[in-house]
Amino acid sequence: MADWRKKARRKAQEREDKARRTQEEEVRRRELRERRASERELAKKVARLGRKFKCHICGVSSKEPARWTTTSWSYSDFPPGGSRSDVDHVDYDKPGDLFECNDCGRLTCSDCMEAGMCRKCAEGGILWRWFRVG
């Protein structure tokens, strides 16, 4: 092959590589932008969750949304049996790290709760408040 043909091919190849790199770079940048946007959105949701839900004893804000998984089975004759699919759910309108006291029903963090009962209820309900006031 003549030299100039090799040169032409090499140049064409370089140009192609460069175009591909630019394209990849563009995709990476876009992904980063989208990830940052969704992180900001998430932080906003967590902040809202924290403002809305607090432990009624120590006042700590909720930082974790409620998460749960549901499993559904789909049955079919072919292929025989069924297929299992797990779906993850996240609810930013429910706290995942605060729990309702079994006695008073108010939101309580795990530090202020024992055996499903908040500290106030464990220490005698309303009396607890009298001791704390002042």
**Residue of the chain from 49, 98, 107, 112 that contacts Zn ion (CB under 5 A):** 112
Q: Binders of Zn ion among 38-57, rule CB under 5 A?
A: 55, 57
107 binding Zn ion? (CB under 5 A): no
Quote the CA–CA distance of 123 and 133 in Å, as a whole number: 15
As measured in angstroms, the least distance from the Cβ of 93 to Zn ion is 20
Among 49, 98, 107, 121, binds Zn ion (CB under 5 A): 121
Task: Rank residues 49 and 121 by Cβ distance to Zn ion and give the closer one.
Answer: 121
Q: In angstroms, what CA-CA distances link 94 with 33, 45, 97, 98, 128?
A: 28, 11, 9, 9, 27
Taking the least distance from each CB to Zn ion, the nearer of 87 and 126 is: 126
Residue 49, class by beta-carbon neighbours within 10 Å (0-12 exposed, 13-18 middle, 19+ buried)?
Answer: buried
113 binds Zn ion (CB under 5 A): no
